[in-house]
Structure 1
Amino acid sequence: MWRPLLLVLYCLAAPARAETPAIDFATGEWPPYVSRSFTADGVFADMVRQACRRAGYIARFHYMSWPRAEAEIKAGRAAAAFPYRPTPERALSFDFSPPLIHSSSYFFYYKPRLAHPPADFRSLADLRAYRIGVQLGYWYQPLFRQYRLNTLNTSDEESAIKLLRAGHLDLAPLTLERGLFLIRTQAAGHEQDFAYIPTPLDKATSLSLMYSRSYPNIAKLRPAIDQALQAMQADGSLHAIYQRNFPELKPRR
Structure 2
Amino acid sequence: MWRPLLLILYCLAASARAEAPAIDFATGEWPPYVSRSFTADGVFADMVRQACRRAGYNARFHYMSWPRAEAEVKAGRAAAAFPYRPTPERQRDFDFSPPLIHSSSYFFYYKPRLANPPGGFRSLTDLRAYRIGVQLGYWYQPLFKQSRLNTLNTNDEENAIRLLRAGHLDLAPLTLERGLFLIRTQAAGHEREFAYIPTPLDKATPLGLMYSRSYPDIAKLRRAIDRTLQAMQADGSLQAIYQRNFPELKPRR
TM-score interval, smaller chain: over 0.9
Give SS of 2:19's match.
coil
Once the two structures are aligned, what percentage of the paired residues are identical? 89
Gaps of 5+ in 1: 1-15
Which structure would you say has the larger Rg?
Answer: 1
AA in 1 matched with 2:131: R
Aligned residue in 1 for 2:161:
161
Give SS of 1:203's match.
coil
| Partners of 2:183 and 2:189 in 1: CA distance | 9
**C-alpha RMSD of matched pairs (Å):** 1.0
String of CA shifts for 1:137-193, please: whole Å, max 9, x gaps: 000000001110000000100000000000000000000000000000000000000
Q: With the length of structure 1 as denominator, give the TM-score of the two structures.
A: 0.93
Shift of 1:58: 0.2
Aligned residue in 1 for 2:125:
125
1:226-241 paired onto structure 2 within 5 Å: 226-241=226-241
Aligned residue in 1 for 2:20:
20
Shift of 1:250: 1.2
| Partners of 2:249 and 2:188 in 1: CA distance | 17
Give SS of 1:86's match.
coil
String of CA shifts for 1:17-38, please: whole Å, max 9, x gaps: 7811000000000000000000
Whether 1:63 and 2:63 are equivalent positions in the alignment is yes
| Partners of 2:154 and 2:25 in 1: CA distance | 26
Aligned residue in 2 for 1:204:
204
| Partners of 1:53 and 1:176 in 2: CA distance | 29
AA in 2 matched with 1:74: K
Give SS of 1:244's match.
helix
AA in 2 matched with 1:141: Q
String of CA shifts for 1:204-252, please: whole Å, max 9, x gaps: 0100100000000101000100000000000000000000001111111
| Partners of 2:209 and 2:19 in 1: CA distance | 25
- In the alignment of these two chains, the number of paired residues is 238
1:168-247 paired onto structure 2 within 5 Å: 168-247=168-247
| Partners of 1:155 and 1:61 in 2: CA distance | 24
Aligned residue in 2 for 1:54:
54
AA in 2 matched with 1:113: R
| Partners of 1:196 and 1:216 in 2: CA distance | 44
Give SS of 2:82's match.
strand
| Partners of 2:168 and 2:41 in 1: CA distance | 32
| Partners of 2:25 and 2:35 in 1: CA distance | 13
| Partners of 1:159 and 1:93 in 2: CA distance | 31
Which runs of at least 4 in structure 1 moved beyond 2 Å after TM superposition? none
Gaps of 5+ in 2: 1-14
Give SS of 1:137's match.
coil
Give SS of 1:151's match.
strand
AA in 1 matched with 2:171: L
Aligned residue in 2 for 1:150:
150
